[in-house]
Amino acid sequence: MTEKDFLPKHTEALPESGKVAWKAPSNIALVKYWGKKENQIPANPSISFTLDACATRTTLSFQKKETTSKFSFDLYLDGKPKADFKPKIEVFFDRIAEYVPFVKEYHFVIETSNSFPHSSGIASSASGMSALALCLMDLERHMQPNMDPSFFMRKASFLARLGSGSACRSLEGDLVVWGKHESIEGSSNLFGLKYPYKVHDNFKHYHDTILLVDKGEKQVSSTVGHNLMHGHPFAEERFKQAYHNLTSLQTILESGDLEEFVKVVESEALTLHAMMMSSNPYFILMKPNTLEIINKIWGFRKETGMPVCFTLDAGANVHVLYPESIKDSVIQFIQDELVAHCDNGHYICDRIGTGAKELIIPKK
Ligand code: DP6
């Protein structure tokens, strides 16, 4: 598929007004996306677990307006106007207008809320952009009632990517690949693809306990970080490494080899941060407690032989990943040893999820 396949093909007239709502999950990458080309094209393919508990709910109300020269929308987070999110949505609308031109025909009210506290240091852009893209596709479906459900999801992922790259992996469960990889049929730089091969039972019901080390705002945004991969001395090698790590993960996902899984996932997390530390300008997003937790996880793994591992996204928080079979021991370990390193003892128990859901809007 190419970008052209996502241009509009409406058959019906635009509705005057209405309301749609979607809930979309967050995701955690196992092979990381870090570095991009123009138009939100990733420099390397990535793969993520779709989460369950961490999610965004968005209601989109739409009303036809007179002029179509500018975008017009109000944005609320947890019922309160959120002016500082508006520029990001404005950029998003600008990037997607070619594919969903009706965005200029409406005044929108976007009401959004996250299941996780907004001061948790957990990025809401993946679940937020995904939920909004799904709402917009719902509106497009009003005009094209025979739309194929798989095209609906694909175009929603395509649009979400233009809002935030990792958002295109936040629509379906339980594993999603984004970026062209020769051994994953159907993979594309343009949208996320539900991982199309058989996955070993070891990876079913995987857990992700998110340890909130630092709930403050990040000093360097992901978008700035991605841009620092242009001209980065290790960029090309890093992109090749991510590609090979995805090849390795494919074998691991099939065989259920948890020891190898741990190696690839932790190496990806540390390499992501190594790229940040070797950028120009360089920066560090980990905090002392991030390292304390990593060391304790390594100690616990050595002592018990249990395949618990960590990953990081672009921040100080630690995602502790482990299979269902060792859940009780790991939760005990987290409570006894790791919670002390969390900001106010806060952590979120999450697990692999099944993807986004349409929400029923109650009739008044
Ligand atoms: C470290 O998707 O937030 O979480 O496309 O600029 O919005 P933009 O970046 P974003 O980057 C996510 C980076 C990451 C790794 C990952 O999720 O693959």
Three-state secondary structure along the chain? Answer: CCHHHHCCCCCCCCCCEEEEEEEEEEEEEEECCCCEEHHHEECCCEEEEEEEEEEEEEEEEEEECCCCCCCEEEEEECCEECHHHHHHHHHHHHHHCCCCHHHHCEEEEEEEEECCCCCCCCCCHHHHHHHHHHHHHHHHHHHCCCCCHHHHHHHHHHHHHHHCHHHHHCCECCEEEECCCCCCCCCCCCCEEECCCCCCHHHCCCEEEEECCCCCCCCCCHHHHHHCCCCCCCHHHHHHHHHHHHHHHHHHHHHCCHHHHHHHHHHHHHHHHHHHHCCCCCCCCCCHHHHHHHHHHHHHHHHHCCCCEEECCCCCCEEEEECHHHHHHHHHHHHHHHHHHCHHHCEEEEEECCECEECCCCCC
What's the pLDDT score for residue 119? 66
> What is the residue-level pLDDT of the chain in tens, covering all 364 positions?
999 999 998 778 889 999 999 999 999 999 999 999 999 999 999 999 999 999 999 999 999 999 888 999 999 999 999 998 899 999 999 999 999 999 999 999 999 999 987 666 677 899 999 999 999 999 999 888 899 999 999 999 999 999 999 999 999 999 999 999 999 999 999 999 999 999 999 999 999 999 999 987 777 889 999 999 999 999 999 999 999 999 999 999 999 999 999 999 999 999 999 999 999 999 999 999 999 999 999 999 999 999 999 999 999 999 999 999 999 999 999 999 999 999 999 999 999 999 999 999 887 6
Q: What's the fold here for domain 3-197?
A: Ribosomal Protein S5; domain 2 (3.30.230)
The answer to whether the CB of 223 is under 6 A from ligand 1 is yes
- Please, where in the chain does CATH 3.30.70.890 lie? 206-351
What's the pLDDT score for residue 364? 67
C-alpha 41 to ligand 1 mean position (Å): 12
The answer to whether the CB of 209 is under 6 A from ligand 1 is no
pTM for this one?
0.97
The residue to mutate among 218, 222, 228, having the most atoms of ligand 1 within 8 angstroms of its beta carbon, is 222
The answer to whether the CB of 50 is under 6 A from ligand 1 is no
The answer to whether the CB of 165 is under 6 A from ligand 1 is yes
C-alpha 11 to ligand 1 mean position (Å): 35
The answer to whether the CB of 26 is under 6 A from ligand 1 is no
C-alpha 306 to ligand 1 mean position (Å): 29
Ligand 1 atom at shortest distance from the alpha carbon of 225: 6
- Please, where in the chain does CATH 3.30.230.10 lie? 3-197
C-alpha 27 to ligand 1 mean position (Å): 10
C-alpha 18 to ligand 1 mean position (Å): 32
C-alpha 28 to ligand 1 mean position (Å): 10
C-alpha 147 to ligand 1 mean position (Å): 30
C-alpha 264 to ligand 1 mean position (Å): 19
Ligand 1 atom at shortest distance from the alpha carbon of 27: 17
The answer to whether the CB of 164 is under 6 A from ligand 1 is yes
To which CATH superfamily is domain 206-351 assigned? GHMP kinase, C-terminal domain (3.30.70.890)
